[in-house]
Every structure is written in structure tokens, then in C-alpha cells.
Copies of this chain bind each other. A is one copy, B any other.
């Protein structure tokens, strides 16, 4: 079954809010084999709503309309839908009681007359009772299509999808299945990757699709199979994913849909390994990305943001002479920073960065975008210099991914080649 989501409201169109509802709805629909084919954000006007409904009917079986159900005058959804379905609005007594009850519990107590209109529903609709707010949802079945009208407030919408919409949809399509498999790769670009697995991709059966989802420094591969035989879908998709995983070898860091940062936190935690950071140009970003993962405290001991040179000397025991001879942005200094962090925080691994993030601070010898990164592991310290570009935010992000990739590579080498 195909679905379309229509979100109504000027605050999305003028950029004041980001539409996170649609992605959430799509995530709920995927496991029950309902594919969202289009998401349209439209204005709060009768003509925009009518056009959107007409066009959605051409493309989809299920049409979810969110927003535009509030009591204020700029919400025209219900009246427009009534005209569109050639029906009227009726006041639902159960909803009216519920709305009055919510108001009687509020601070002011008295309910403006305008709010009674919240209890008006399409005469041809089945009411989707909204326990957590005043605007009821509505389900209309007409012309062989299924329409769900929901409020735009995220937690009300989520309540109605979970408790009212999904149970209805589950009954509609018990026969097709969707199965997904994921591979997370690091250290190889999208096009190199595509070339390495071209033959596998060309030989894939038609019911499996492969998508490349690149993000700075990593590429996510998503295999999606659709069909009626669930065990066949699963078997074939898993077989293809593991064929690709074997071909790509150590570029694959995870066989599920998680971030590279989460892979590192999990694997280090499993192995009982401890990590520290000593960041200059990345300014705490590496620590922040790792500690954004729940459970990071299992493996992350701590870090230093060593912006001033004195901090490099005082906290990380970088040698003053080395600093003076080679400068703060140098392989010699970043090596000492990593080794100093490993000692200070008493860890198995430490990451250190030093560079010219920009836009100022560059020189002919050390231009903007030059970043030195060191990883100190159990047996050795590896150091590399990168030359990124002019944008400060991107340089910080690239240096972060480069450092995590170096950490991962050293970790893999040392784990496959144990110290003891």
C-alpha cells in the first residue's frame, strides 16, 4: 500500500519549524509494509488543501493529513474537507464533553465558545478519539481511499497514530512485507564503494533495492526488499548484505543501522577499553560526539580541550622545546598530546588533534585547513597530517571523522594482533 503525507501550516513553509512529524510517521509505516511515496507541506488555504487531496489520490491509497485542526480562524481544514467530501460537520457529544473537561481542569476554567468547534467532525468520518488534546482525529473511507486527519502537535499526532491509526492500517494489508538490512562503511567514498560491488549490485534480484546514503566520511548502505514471502525476502537480503560485507572487508564497521560513533562506543565498551581525548582544533567536538551516545561513560574517561599552548604543557605534559621548535600544529606536538592524554586519563587509547580550523590563523607553511591527528594505542602512536579547506565548521567535522577513522583502524589492527 502507498501512502502520502500532507502537512498543513504556514510555519513549515516559512521555515519557522522543521517538519519532524512526517519522518516519524514514515518510520511507523515502514514495518507494516506501507511505503510513503510523497510528503507535501502546503499552505493553510482551501485551494491548496483541495489541490493536495486531489493529487494525493492519484498517487496513494492512504492519505494522512496533519495540522490545521485548531480552533483559530486560520485553520480551514475541516470546512474544506467537508466541502471536498460533499458532506457537513456535526458536533460530536463525546468529544465536546472531553474538550469541556480539559478546560475545566485548566487554570482559567472558562471555555471560549470558539473551542466548542473543536468537537465538530466530518459527518462521514469515524472519530479518532484524542485522549491527550482537544482536537479529535478523523478517519474517512471514500473512493477506495483511506484519509486520516490528525492534529499537527507532535505528541497528539503520535498518540493518534499509535493508538488509532496503526490498528486500522494493520487490518488493511496483511499480505506484503518489507525487509531492510544495513551496512555502515567508513573510509571509502561512495563511488569507489559502488565500483567494488558493481557485479553484486547488477546481479541483485529485482525485489531488492540498494541505496547509498553518504554522510561526511561514511556511507550507509541500505538493502530494501519488498514482497509477499517474508522468509524469502529476509534470506535473500541478508545473503546479499553479507556478500557485500565480505567484499568490503574492514571498511564495514557495523551491520546494523547505527552511527559510527555508536559503533566505537559499543565495541570499546565490549572490550573493556578506555578512551581519552586531547583536542585543540576540534575544540571538544570529538568528546561531544562520543558522549552524545548513551552509555559512553562505559569507555570514555575524559578529555582536555587544549586550546591555549599553556594547557598543552600543564595538563598534557607537552614538551616546551618541542612546542617552540615545531609549533602547536605539528606531528611532534600532537603525538605528545595523545601520549600525555593517555597517561593523564589512564586509558588504553587517546585521540589528539591540532590544526588551523580557520578562517584566520593560516600561514604559508601551515595553511587554514591543515590538521595533525595522533592516536595513541596499546602498542604504538600513529600520526597523520590532513589538508582540509576553508570552512571552519566543515574542517572541525572532517577532522573529527578522520580522527575516529584512525582510532578505528588502530583498534582493529591491535585487536586482531593482540599485545599479550
Residues of A in contact with B (beta carbons under 8 Å apart)? 10-20, 22-30, 35-43, 48, 51-52, 55, 59, 70-74, 105-106, 108, 111-112, 114-115, 132, 153, 155, 189-192, 194-195, 209-214, 222, 224, 257, 277, 279, 282-288, 290-292, 294-297, 300-308, 310-311, 314-315, 344-346, 357-361, 387, 389, 391-394, 396
Contacts and interface: CB of A to CB of B under 8 A. Distances in A.
Given A277-B305, A284-B286, 15 more contacts: A13-B36, A18-B18, A19-B39, A22-B41, A37-B48, A38-B42, A38-B48, A40-B40, A72-B191, A155-B391, A284-B303, A301-B310, A302-B305, A302-B308, A304-B315
Contact of A284 (B13, B284, B310): B284
Contacts of A296: 283, 307
B305 A311 contact: no
Contacts of A20: 18
B292 A315 contact: no
Contacts of A28: 15
**Oligomer: number of copies:** 2
A14 B30 contact: yes
B38 A39 contact: no
Contact of A360 (B195, B295, B391, B394): B295
A120 to B, nearest CB: 14
Contacts of A43: 37-38
A135 to B, nearest CB: 11
Contacts of A394: 132, 155
A396 B277 contact: no
A282 B288 CA distance: 7
B19 A35 contact: no
Contact of A315 (B224, B315, B357, B358): B315
Contact of A308 (B25, B301, B306): B301
A349 B346 CA distance: 28
B10 A15 contact: no
A60 to B, nearest CB: 11
Contact of A283 (B22, B212, B257, B288): B288
Contacts of A387: 105
Nearest to A44: B211
Nearest to A384: B107
Residue of A14, A36, A285, A345 with most partner-chain B CB within 10 A = A14
20 contacts: A12-B23, A12-B39, A14-B30, A19-B23, A37-B48, A38-B40, A39-B40, A39-B41, A70-B190, A71-B191, A74-B211, A153-B214, A282-B291, A284-B284, A285-B291, A285-B292, A291-B357, A297-B361, A302-B308, A310-B346
B294 A315 contact: no
Contact of A292 (B114, B213, B393): B393
A288 B291 contact: no
B302 A311 contact: yes
Nearest to A20: B18
A368 B315 CA distance: 31
A27 B13 contact: no
A13 B34 CA distance: 11
Nearest to A396: B292
A179 B11 CA distance: 15
Given A155-B391, A194-B71, A11 B303 contact: no
